[in-house]
Chain A
């Protein structure tokens, strides 16, 4: 028979103000197995913990029930107390009298008291059946994978590598730099985006601890915290980078030209190209979809002109595997595809209606116009420019309910740039609310208004082409009037969405995404960098729309988390994981189907029953490093062969009985 001790906490007046704690302790004393019960003002305090330790020793307790607050808050505290007293820390059970009772029933004291008694009875019933548990230990591979080479991935890679750990940075584009390096200036300080991001790109390339894989994709991830196996595909570049000197002869000779993605289609590039002059690595790839030699087998001009003989049309994709201990996901963002749903703005058929990112390229000195703001249709300088905010943000009807966070500020910056570069320009900004949450942001918005940008509070209902003008029909809701502007150019503040393919990455690494497709953090406030899968961390806009400072902060946070993990030699795993009783398991693998962490594998065992020949049989087995203890498998198991340690079926049924019988 176990010897259970019950400790009822007042939590000052939080519990004590509603419940009669001494009475609760008295009643608990009568429950089966309870040999000692008491109440105390703050059980979590030092004297409170000492009370537990001393009582264990004095009364020979071997199970402890603390009736106080949520286990989320102090379970670990009390486990340590048990450990100090020489008990297995998992001989602890908690009853949540605060969040589950006193806080929610302050006006029904009598009923609350009855409920509290039930809660304690339940905890005592379970405590009687607790088993000693001990955490497992797993080794840690001291190497980190970073998926995505935008500013988030770059920052995380640098931080981890600077701590002396090995980093693999995988980027699917031919260069790192991501979206940030496309930007012209950054708000609110107006420093040049390329000037502050290209040195970081170079630092990545030169860092001895970072292995950079551009034009490569992660294809498969298996394993668990500390021990991931990753398969990476290096796409064929058709250029041998060990020979290539990046001299640039090839792309000047290439006869093909295609719309340039880096310049948002506003310029053109060759089929063999580097995305922009400061690309890292500064060596070209061949775009196989457009190369004449690769499509038709006729051309070969680049190979003919290459002085280093680096062109290799026969190059194939290479696939290789690496082991890493931690993964940082930094897949970034893409732009909302406004052309598909904003018919009222022309479905993209008016050339002078452009996105904010296209505007960045137009105004950039390294962009297709050399930094002159010109209309894509006729190359003329626009005199009247209209900015429309919240295109694909805060628009339930277009399927995007959230605020993209950065558009108010980048639009203000664009307004400033038009007014700075085009003398006598008229700038109108249609907005619903201007959100300037960051340091120096509101001041910048004020400054742009001082410079002459006219802010109009209202959404635009329609844009249509009338001759060379774009007629913009909006409303000034502050005046209560519709307004119409004949504009030369319209810039849409298109919202931020997860980058293309982010969903596939999520599926591949077994991390969930939110309703908008952004990666789901473990806790929106207290664990914004972790995911629900141990060892996988998030950085930047893949987790939600963010500006550069927030992205960099989160990336450094992720880097710190990775270091904290990888600087250990071994990991302690939670003992509260599922366990399969192989004798009962029928091998149906329903558990594997429902497991959200892919922690269950099918294994073949050889069964030797007395008097029968040995027989091979498939059973389920739990990989403890992956199991997060959610319990889905125990529900799915029809044979009752799976149990969750710390929450066994027997323990749960005892709790139910204690509550219901």
Chain B
């Protein structure tokens, strides 16, 4: 299978390991990820909070590039996925806007590209097929699958049920790891406020860490660089602000999948986490 790949800005720096793991696992599963040439930033929350035209025009350029490739696309970052889908919906509703964007870019906008989250692309391979690839079962590991906001909301844009998403749980269960049922799988991590209102953001991160560990999880699995960075990179800062002592590793789902498929932990970027996942992985024998 060949599919266009829109990595997004974070995956080039702070979320490098998500990119590494995504590419490696995709290759292992025979999915050819073709980078959208010359892609640009989706605009993230900065654009939609500032200017409605930019909020649509920035993602639209990527959709134009993808349609020129003649491929559908898959997006690892939940926030990028959300922005691309929202822009596509907006453009479908407002033809005039589409014409304006095309006019400025000097190329036509067609709106035919289908946008998938990486989670959808991987689960789309089929759970049985995936299970057949598992060579190093993660038996004994209990994880909380965390979907956050933008992967599942709003309804019609998100790629799973907004209230009880389960696709990641089913996917991770193919590794023989156990998934816990918990109340915060679709709560917001506050990542968008790390710079604008840090205390608020950290409080949300704390609640998620507390709920996941309360449900007995050794680790959290996610599908978004913002969630991962707010929960992992900033876990030390969260602990300091609230006097807690969380040490919960935060995996990207392809990292865990790759591990169970026998791929090299270093190649999957497992050595660049703030909270070292090794301790948690000891329960499955290192």
Contact B163 A347 (CB under 8 A): yes
Contact B181 A343 (CB under 8 A): no
Contact A466 B164 (CB under 8 A): no
Contact B163 A466 (CB under 8 A): no
- Which of B162, B163, B181 is close to A465, meaning CB atoms less than 8 Å apart? B181
In the bound complex, residues from chain B placing their C-beta under 8 Å from that of A462 are 183
Q: B196 on the interface (CB 8 Å rule)? A: no
In the bound complex, residues from chain B placing their C-beta under 8 Å from that of A464 are 182-183
Contact A471 B183 (CB under 8 A): yes
- B148 to A: closest C-beta gap in Å: 15
In the bound complex, residues from chain A placing their C-beta under 8 Å from that of B162 are 343
Q: B173 on the interface (CB 8 Å rule)? A: no
Kindly report which residue of chain B lies nearest to residue A347, judged by CB atoms. B164
Contact B161 A343 (CB under 8 A): yes
Contact A343 B163 (CB under 8 A): yes
Kindly report which residue of chain A lies nearest to residue B165, judged by CB atoms. A343
Q: A110 on the interface (CB 8 Å rule)? A: no
Q: Say which size band chain A's interface belongs to.
A: 10 to 19
Q: B286 on the interface (CB 8 Å rule)? A: no
C-alpha spacing A462/B187, complex, angstroms: 11
- A472 to B: closest C-beta gap in Å: 11
Please provide the chain B residues from 43 to 74 with a CB less than 8 Å away from any CB of chain A in the complex. none
In the bound complex, residues from chain A placing their C-beta under 8 Å from that of B182 are 464
Q: B243 on the interface (CB 8 Å rule)? A: no
In the bound complex, residues from chain A placing their C-beta under 8 Å from that of B163 are 343-344, 347
- A465-B181, A465-B183, A466-B183 known; A343 vs B164 contact (CB < 8 Å): yes
C-alpha spacing A344/B162, complex, angstroms: 9
Q: B126 on the interface (CB 8 Å rule)? A: no
Kindly report which residue of chain A lies nearest to residue B185, judged by CB atoms. A464
C-alpha spacing A467/B182, complex, angstroms: 9
Q: B106 on the interface (CB 8 Å rule)? A: no
In the bound complex, residues from chain B placing their C-beta under 8 Å from that of A346 are 164
Q: Is the interface of A mostly helix, strand, loop or mixed?
A: mixed
C-alpha spacing A261/B182, complex, angstroms: 31
In the bound complex, residues from chain B placing their C-beta under 8 Å from that of A465 are 181, 183
C-alpha spacing A471/B215, complex, angstroms: 14
C-alpha spacing A462/B181, complex, angstroms: 15
Please provide the chain A residues from 335 to 386 with a CB less than 8 Å away from any CB of chain B in the complex. 343-344, 346-347, 349
- B157 to A: closest C-beta gap in Å: 16
C-alpha spacing A321/B178, complex, angstroms: 61
C-alpha spacing A448/B164, complex, angstroms: 35
Kindly report which residue of chain B lies nearest to residue A466, judged by CB atoms. B183
Encode A457-477 as 1/0 by CB contact (under 8 A) with B: 000001011110001000000
In the bound complex, residues from chain B placing their C-beta under 8 Å from that of A471 are 183
- B18 to A: closest C-beta gap in Å: 28
Contact B214 A466 (CB under 8 A): yes
C-alpha spacing A349/B164, complex, angstroms: 10
Determine which residue in B181, B183, B211, B214 has the highest number of CB atoms from chain A within 10 A of its CB, and name it: B183
Kindly report which residue of chain B lies nearest to residue A473, judged by CB atoms. B183
- B161 to A: closest C-beta gap in Å: 6
In the bound complex, residues from chain A placing their C-beta under 8 Å from that of B181 are 465
- B158 to A: closest C-beta gap in Å: 12
- B152 to A: closest C-beta gap in Å: 10
Kindly report which residue of chain B lies nearest to residue A344, judged by CB atoms. B163
Kindly report which residue of chain A lies nearest to residue B211, judged by CB atoms. A466
Please provide the chain B residues from 210 to 224 with a CB less than 8 Å away from any CB of chain A in the complex. 211, 214
Kindly report which residue of chain A lies nearest to residue B162, judged by CB atoms. A343
- A171 to B: closest C-beta gap in Å: 38
C-alpha spacing A347/B163, complex, angstroms: 9
Encode B63-94 as 1/0 by CB contact (under 8 A) with A: 00000000000000000000000000000000
- B68 to A: closest C-beta gap in Å: 38
C-alpha spacing A465/B211, complex, angstroms: 11
C-alpha spacing A343/B163, complex, angstroms: 5
Determine which residue in B161, B163, B181 has the highest number of CB atoms from chain A within 10 A of its CB, and name it: B163
- A494 to B: closest C-beta gap in Å: 17
Encode B170-194 as 1/0 by CB contact (under 8 A) with A: 0000000000011100000000000
C-alpha spacing A343/B186, complex, angstroms: 11
Kindly report which residue of chain A lies nearest to residue B215, judged by CB atoms. A466
In the bound complex, residues from chain B placing their C-beta under 8 Å from that of A349 are 164
- A53 to B: closest C-beta gap in Å: 66
C-alpha spacing A464/B182, complex, angstroms: 8
In the bound complex, residues from chain B placing their C-beta under 8 Å from that of A466 are 183, 211, 214
C-alpha spacing A347/B23, complex, angstroms: 36
In the bound complex, residues from chain A placing their C-beta under 8 Å from that of B164 are 343, 346-347, 349
- A341 to B: closest C-beta gap in Å: 9
C-alpha spacing A343/B161, complex, angstroms: 8
C-alpha spacing A465/B183, complex, angstroms: 7
C-alpha spacing A465/B214, complex, angstroms: 12
- A339 to B: closest C-beta gap in Å: 11
C-alpha spacing A51/B181, complex, angstroms: 84
In the bound complex, residues from chain A placing their C-beta under 8 Å from that of B161 are 343
- B12 to A: closest C-beta gap in Å: 35
Determine which residue in B161, B164, B211 has the highest number of CB atoms from chain A within 10 A of its CB, and name it: B164
In the bound complex, residues from chain A placing their C-beta under 8 Å from that of B214 are 466-467
C-alpha spacing A467/B180, complex, angstroms: 12
C-alpha spacing A462/B161, complex, angstroms: 15
- B247 to A: closest C-beta gap in Å: 22
- A490 to B: closest C-beta gap in Å: 14
C-alpha spacing A471/B182, complex, angstroms: 11
- B77 to A: closest C-beta gap in Å: 24
In the bound complex, residues from chain B placing their C-beta under 8 Å from that of A467 are 214
Which positions in A face B, CB cutoff 8 Å? 343-344, 346-347, 349, 462, 464-467, 471
Q: Which 4 A-B pairs have the closest CB atoms?
A: A343-B163, A464-B183, A344-B163, A343-B164
Which positions in B face A, CB cutoff 8 Å? 161-164, 181-183, 211, 214
Other than the given A343-B162, A466-B214, 14 more pairs (CB < 8 A) read: A343-B161, A343-B163, A343-B164, A344-B163, A346-B164, A347-B163, A347-B164, A349-B164, A462-B183, A465-B181, A465-B183, A466-B183, A466-B211, A467-B214
Interface pairs (11), CB distance under 8 Å? A343-B163, A344-B163, A346-B164, A347-B163, A349-B164, A462-B183, A464-B183, A465-B183, A466-B211, A466-B214, A467-B214
